[in-house]
Each structure stands twice: as C-alpha cells, then as structure tokens.
Amino acid sequence: MQNKLDKIVISRTDSIGDVILTLPIAGILKQKYPDAKIIFFGNTYTQPIITSSVHVDEIWEWAEFVKKDQKTQLKWLKSQNIDAFIHIFPRKELARLVKKAGIKIRIGTSHRLYHLTTCNYRPNFTRKNSELHEAQLNTKLLSPLGIGGNYSLAELNHFVGFENIPTLKDNFKALLDPTKINLILHSKSQGSAIEWGVENFIKLAIELDPEKVNIFFTGTEKESEYFRSLLPIQENIHDVSGQMDLFDLIAFIANADAIVAASTGPLHIGGILGIRTIGLFANLKPMHAGRWQPLGNDVVIMEDEKKSEKTQPLLINHRSIIKGVYATALKRNKPGTR
C-alpha cells in the first residue's frame, strides 16, 4: 500500500441518513492524508448534505454519471487519476468499471460476490448481524489504508465536519420564536423506518404547552397529504411541509432547538447539527437504535420496548417525549450553551 494518496473517492449513492453516517469517513481520510483530494460520489438530492462537510473537496453526481454510455464512463474514470476508490454502497456495474479503469486501490466488502473479481482489497465483516453502528461499520472499509481502531460514536461525530451550513431565509427565520423552544416534528419517513404515526405527533403537538413550545411540522408535499388537514389551528403550530428544499431544511434545523422524528434523514441532520434530537426507534434488528441512531452530542433515544412488527406503529409514551422536549429549554438557558 502506497503511503501517499492524492485522490480518494468515497462512493455512497443512497439516502440522506446513510450519507450522513458516511461523512466521518471523509474526516478520517483527511486526517490521515491531509493533502489528498476527497471526492464523494453520491446522489444529486443528497448534495446539500455532502457540501455541508468541510472534509469533502469535490462531489460527483451519480445521476450525471449514468447518463453517459459505458465507454464514456470508463474513459472519464481513467482520466481522473484516482488513487483509491471505496465502495461504501456497493454497485456491481460501478465496481466493474472502476476495475477496468485501472484504479490501483479498489476497496469493497468481501460479502459481495462480484467484489471478488473487481476489488483488490476486501475487508471481511458483515453488516446484517453486527452489533456495531452503521457509521462504525463504514470505517471497517478503511483498514486496507492502514486506518483501524474502534471509533466511538462521539469520535465519529467529530469527524463529520458539518460546518458549511446554508443561510436561513428571512421568511423561515421570521417563524422562529426566540422566547420558546422551536420544535420540529417530522412525522413521516418515506418508508425508511417504522413510524410513530401522524395521530401521535398531532397529539404530542396539542399536549405541549403553547406558551413554551413553537411547533413546526416538516415533510415533503406528498407527505403533507397524511397530516395537513388534521393539524389543529393553533398560533404555535406551523405547517412548513412542502415549502423547503434540502438546503432550506438544513438551515432551518440548524436554527431550531429540537427535533422529534423516527429514523430518517432529518433526524440525522438534527443530530450532527447539535440540537436536541429525539429519535423514535423500534427494538427490531437491523433497524434498531444501536445500528441507526443519529450521531450528535444531544441525542435522546426513545425505543419501543417490544419487538415491533414492521406494519405496526411504534409504541412510545407521549409523556417521555414531552419530558425530553422540555429538557431542551433547561439546556438552552444554561450559560455557554445554545
């Protein structure tokens, strides 16, 4: 293995939460190879997440890459002078192209059969039955580069480098109340998690003291169809669903005080931005909190103690969540904190 690497590609072409839990890889690589260019190969819609990390130097968009024919793709990869290519999210067609392009260091898990012929470094570990967190599992793919050790979640959070935060637009800033806890309720997950249920989120919003908590329901326009007509008309409850792109959402979360959500992208954003992040999880492998809890310094996990069926909503007590929300005010009012 060569000691100096000038160009390293991290490939993770899936969703927001997965990308966030991969960002520590960029920070760890920057520490090991400070002069290397770190490139993140990802989906177009996760670009606002990737650009927020100070450790990523360049982004390649998967959607633009697949528009090219295979011959053009191969020629382009060859022209990039890549030293190492790390397949965090494996894609068979991409692994084959990376090998054909003659990239010297090609890293992928040994548990993908096609990696036997396409990757020359294949760390042997399994995600399915592991007790490790997803972000910790990602670091296992760095072992061929001489990077090892058992990283704690606190250490991995340090390596995210989520510092290039977009500026919050004035129309959204005007909705925030500095005298109250500005709380985001993200009730849906686009199928990525077992949810708590829209009815429970609405019940929570009603039970929270309007004199203490300013509430925002977020989500896509399509997701809003599940809750918009059900929201109570209260001065402290705001529906901002369908109004924000991902840059706006990152900025809004950064300026809020707390978020409550199931295991989905906005929950992970809240975690790495350091706001009170209350995650709702099922005690069911492989989607339990031990594997997917958000990174962050102010993360609170609420877990359904029963082994939930995937078709049933989470069973989590409202009172425990309310207690976690109100604790945000106590923390925020302490000297030296948010």
Q: How many CA atoms lie within 13 A of 15 on its CB side?
A: 13
Bridge partners for 162 per DSSP: 53
Rounded distance, CA 276 to CA 69, Å?
46
Domains of the chain, with CATH numbers?
A: 7-158 (3.40.50.2000), 170-332 (3.40.50.2000)
pLDDT less than 50: residues of the chain: 334-338
Q: Which pLDDT score, from 0 to 100, does residue 319 have?
A: 93
Are 18 and 138 in contact, with CB atoms under 8 Å apart?
Answer: no
Structure tokens at 233: 């008309």
Cα 318 to Cα 101, 184, 200, 260, distances in angstroms: 54, 15, 8, 11
The three-state secondary structure class of 161 is coil
Are 273 and 182 in contact, with CB atoms under 8 Å apart?
Answer: no
Bridge partners for 182 per DSSP: 214
The three-state secondary structure class of 60 is strand
The three-state secondary structure class of 75 is helix
The number of angstroms, rounded, from the C-alpha of 73 to the middle of its chain's C-alpha atoms is 28
- Among the listed residues 106, 82, 104, 105, the one whose alpha carbon sits nearest the alpha carbon of residue 94: 106
Structure tokens at 138: 């990602």
Are 261 and 198 in contact, with CB atoms under 8 Å apart?
Answer: no
Angle at 286 between CA 284 and CA 291, to 5 degrees: 105
Q: What does 318-336 look like in DSSP terms, one character per residue?
A: HHHHHHHHHHHHHHHTSTT
Q: Which residues are within 8 A (CB) of 39 and not within 5 positions of it... i.e. 6 or more apart? A: 7, 8, 9, 10, 56, 57, 58, 59, 60, 82
The amino acid sitting at 118 is: T
